[in-house]
Structure 1
């Protein structure tokens, strides 16, 4: 393989994102341990919480926050230790994502595919590609997402193509749900080659023919910039192609990791909604007229409901931790059984985190009362975010995966959505 280099086009279409947003004034901090990663996330969450509601109301892109997030080193915590990263456990990954998502789940979701692609680099990239891209990530480079399409028959039926040309390779197509692409330095684009197999082509943000449109209009997760990416005769260097289909031709935890981070976002949404509920009931809610109580916090039904929410959240997070441990095991020993168990536990965690995110964001209003629905409070963002994000990969099929394994000994399918 020839030397990897970066060729930037003068063309710029980043939809109101300043050009200097993508410049590195200094390298990112490098986190060295699991403990440092968790503490860093907690400190950042305090900052990110301050204007989270306002960003949601105004659909304001979290430009400063994303810079702080990636410069903190948290976007590089899964880079293997052999390449200079912390190689943290997936329990730590979950805690970081939950902590950030509890105050702003859009910020929690944006690095999801970045982290997933780091795993694909570990699994499928050449040693030279790994060295090149892991070094970029450690310095603060953000990877975006141009994977999904909204007009294909199913989520796996991609229409974006990559074809060999006299100059190298060319990509044509259109993507949607491209979370983070607008804010990324490099964009991994998934396209099908002449053999119908998916490969990832990494292109710098300002590559000619890449048009990123900030047209995400979802009522939740408003500031993820999960809109359209148009790809018109995009030239790709062969050195930037990664055969990601290999990760699903053998037992690997790639699919489980993708779903695991989604579940961590949902757990974070639930955590944030419950804390918002407790805070509102303590400071604003009134006791019901027939209760004879002085404070809403003394209402036995409210007390029981908070207990129920906390118990269900703890259960969901406990299963998420079990899934994390099994992912770690599958990374070290990627056997059929280890990968299957990781997939099953992630599916179980996805069910439980979905249920508690929806329940908690709904109970927020039931326990807080009518005044909590006032638009100026914007408390509905918790429910909107929960309802939107939990639609990633239908939970009804998680039940099917688990049941089919235990009833019929059918292994979980190998793909990013199981």
Structure 2
């Protein structure tokens, strides 16, 4: 395991995204750029430093910031489409800013006015937010990373894993338990990536999403300022959109990877696949059984797109008027979208090989990255529990729990 130093340099202020249409067009242009070297980045595990600089400079990382603070305040529908567009080109690049946008939503919902103005301005200036939320080695999901508040100052102590984006970040929003406030009182401490005592370890070795940098972070008496600490649990004690906002981005990642796999299927079948000898046709693209399967995959992906759009609209509505019912409706709609994007994404990645034939497994094409990426990412949290939440809501009127994983 090698500790990776933060790579930072002075950069011009990013472009300011004007509106939703500008965000979508920017995403399409970036996706075309990112797709060119996606095969090599995955095959050689090249961390995408240059790509992330272009991604940040595009202004998309600040596009969700409210207009009152200088951002474009794009809709959740548009954010999901942006993420899916990038994911079709490179699943890892789509996942890296997921926790960045999550932290911005935590700030929007629970940050003080001073905190919002400070961090929103830093993001508009080009700062990236990572994450240090999860911990391993515990079965009870209790947090061990502590916020120590003593007369000498405030300090963060602990270890985290699955820290997607931390290696590329300027700030690492870290979930901490306050020593002096009870074990269930949690905060999100925004820790400078280059602060003394912060060690980011590039030890993510999953077979998919290989360049997300989802490794470990350790904090050894890391000094933080009180104004960098945002209430976290308090934002789930009332109905807020933090949970469904986080989850719809995961749905968009899986959808986008599936869409990318589908486009690869079309290209491969048209150009390289052979028809089965019993089909009686000259080209694989005319094989009736292949046409049936291509149609099946497209319908599933289109249905998943529709559910993501519908869920995004309900998250937007809940952001405008957050109450028990609006947040529950948004959460259930996002759970439905996550169920179908999981199934559709995996289906598209699997059919890529089934319809393209044995030659599609050649290493040089690296087409298995689609399956590896979507299989890895769909394990983020169990889809079986989303079926349960949807069923309980519709059958028993039971609202889903309020947390980031519904």
TM-score, structure 1 normalization:
0.95
Q: Deviations over 1:237-278 (max 9, x none)?
A: 111100011210100011001111000000001000000001
Tell me how far 1:24 sits from its aligned partner: 2.8
1:162 corresponds to 2:147: yes
Which of these residues, 159, 167, 183, is aligned with residue 174 of structure 1?
Answer: 159
1:153 corresponds to 2:139: yes
Q: Which residue of 2 aligns with 1:10?
A: none
Which of these residues, 210, 214, 217, is aligned with residue 226 of structure 1?
Answer: 214
Q: Which residue of 2 aligns with 1:72?
A: 58
1:102 corresponds to 2:88: yes
Counterparts of 1:95 and 1:291, CA distance in 2: 38
Counterparts of 1:396 and 1:291, CA distance in 2: 39
Q: Which residue of 2 aligns with 1:354?
A: 342
Counterparts of 2:139 and 2:145, CA distance in 1: 13
Where structure 2 has 5 or more consecutive residues not aligned to the other structure, the ranges are: none
Tell me how far 1:14 sits from its aligned partner: 8.9
Counterparts of 2:267 and 2:41, CA distance in 1: 21
1:276 corresponds to 2:264: yes
Which residues of 2 match residues 292-303 of structure 1 at below 5 A? 292-303=280-291
Q: Which residue of 2 aligns with 1:367?
A: 355
Where structure 1 has 5 or more consecutive residues not aligned to the other structure, the ranges are: 1-12
Contact 1:61–1:225 (Cα < 8 Å) also in 2: yes
Contact 1:169–1:235 (Cα < 8 Å) also in 2: yes
Which residues of 2 match residues 244-259 of structure 1 at below 5 A? 244-259=232-247
Any idea what SS the aligned residue of 1:263 has? helix
Contact 2:4–2:167 (Cα < 8 Å) also in 1: no
1:409 corresponds to 2:394: no
Q: Which residue of 2 aligns with 1:336?
A: 324
Q: Which residue of 1 aligns with 2:251?
A: 263
Q: Deviations over 1:320-378 (max 9, x none)?
A: 11100000000000011000000000000000000011111001000000111111111
Contact 1:181–1:212 (Cα < 8 Å) also in 2: yes
Q: Deviations over 1:290-342 (max 9, x none)?
A: 11210000001111111111111010110111100000000000011000000
Runs ≥4 residues deviating over 2 A: 13-17
Q: Which residue of 2 aligns with 1:60?
A: 46
1:81 corresponds to 2:67: yes
Q: Deviations over 1:45-67 (max 9, x none)?
A: 11100000100000110000000
Which of these residues, 11, 24, 31, is aligned with residue 38 of structure 1?
Answer: 24
Counterparts of 2:375 and 2:8, CA distance in 1: 32
RMSD: 1.2
Q: Which residue of 2 aligns with 1:3?
A: none
Q: Deviations over 1:368-406 (max 9, x none)?
A: 001111111111000000100000110000000011111
Tell me how far 1:231 sits from its aligned partner: 1.1
Counterparts of 2:117 and 2:9, CA distance in 1: 21
